[in-house]
Amino acid sequence: MENAIEVKGLLKSYGKLEVLKGVDFSVGRGSIFALLGSNGAGKTTVVRILSTLLKPDGGTATVNGFEVQAEPAKVRGSISLTGQFAAVDEVLTGRENLILVGKLRRVGHPGQVADDLLTRFGLTDAGGRRVGTYSGGMRRRLDIAMSLIGNPPVIFLDEPTTGLDPEARLEVWKEIQELAGGGTTVLLTTQYLEEAEKLADRIAILHQGTIIVSGTLAELRAMLPPAQVEYVERQPTLEEIFLAIIGNGAQR
């Protein structure tokens, strides 16, 4: 599969602090790639470099076939970035946010594009309301919808479910899966192991400035000793209990 992202030997330091110490990975087109790491591991630094917001100290990176440092304008025309906090205007309505971005990106018929995205992301009924009245999950869905305007082939999602409740997280997961299903390449950074397990085609673990392991979930599991079969009573997780109760309550 042709790669949408290629990173080789990426370096970045802030004074004496080495954040990236030679990062290497590639992301296939139309796939979901999860970059795992604890706080301070350098995940956001990688995303900022790939999205041309930060210059590396060394190494090379290409996005959609364009070299990040040599062709930044072409890279920016190929991507969309959704950060840890929803970049929405709370004074505007959801529809007005989408139309504004559509006009900035010079797409044809921005009103129709906005309406189509509101429908796709289940926000039609809320489209005429000020975003300041939205829940966290609704804001995040609107934020991702805004990132799709112009049909960018590559999307960076930097910890997209941070601070969301379990129900909202599942909504966002569904949208991310649908993006990849439609051919969009998704680079996802997260601290949540379950999130990477549920979504990613390939996973890389960034630790102390380098990628220490990379592969599919099956490949990563194969690195550990075979699991021992034990027969234990499985109790539902708190998340399962929460979602079951919310679901039952919605039906009453």
Q: Is the pLDDT of residue 15 over 80?
A: yes
Q: What is the pLDDT of residues 65-94, one digit of tens each?
A: 999 999 999 999 999 988 766 678 899 999
Asked if residue 1 has pLDDT above 90, the reply is no
pLDDT at 143 over 80: yes
- Residue 146 sits in which domain range? 84-151
Same domain? 169 vs 237: yes
Are residues 162 and 232 both part of a single domain? yes
DSSP 179-227: HHHTT-EEEEEES-HHHHHHH-SEEEEEETTEEEEEE-HHHHHTTSPPP
| pLDDT of 119 above 50 | yes
Range with the poorest average pLDDT among 18-22, 37-41, 98-102, 215-219: 37-41
Would you say 51 and 87 are in contact if contact means Cβ atoms under 8 Å apart? no
Mean pLDDT of the region 194-219: 90
**One-letter amino acid for residue 115 of the chain:** D
Tell the burial category of 39 from Cβ atoms under 10 Å away from its Cβ (0-12, 13-18, 19+).
exposed
> Which 8-state DSSP code applies to residue 118?
H
Q: For the chain, what is the domain count? A: 2
Check pLDDT > 50 for residue 124. yes
Q: How far apart are alpha carbons 77 and 80 in whole angstroms?
A: 8
For 72-174, list the strands marked E by DSSP: 79-82, 154-158
Residues 161, 74 share a domain: yes
Contact yes or no for 11/20 (Cβ under 8 A)? yes
Which CATH number fits the domain that encloses residue 61?
A: 3.40.50.300
165, 193: one domain: yes
Is 157 in the same domain as 147? no
Do 17 and 56 share a domain, yes or no?
A: yes
Q: What is the mean pLDDT of the chain?
A: 87
Same domain, 16 and 74: yes
Do 19 and 135 fall into the same domain? no
- Asked if 178 and 236 sit in the same domain, the reply is yes
Among residues 112, 136, 151, the one where a domain terminates is 151
Residue holding tokens 């979602």? 243
Other Cβ atoms closer than 10 A to 73: 9
Give the pLDDT confidence score for residue 241 in this predicted structure: 62
Q: Are residues 158 and 147 in the same domain?
A: no
β-pairing, 185-190 with 32-36? Answer: parallel
pTM more than 0.85: no
Do 139 and 165 belong to one domain? no
Of 77, 59, 78, which Cα lies nearest the Cα of 10? 59
> 17 and 109: one domain?
no
pLDDT score at 58? 96
Of 99, 121, 151, the residue that ends a domain is: 151
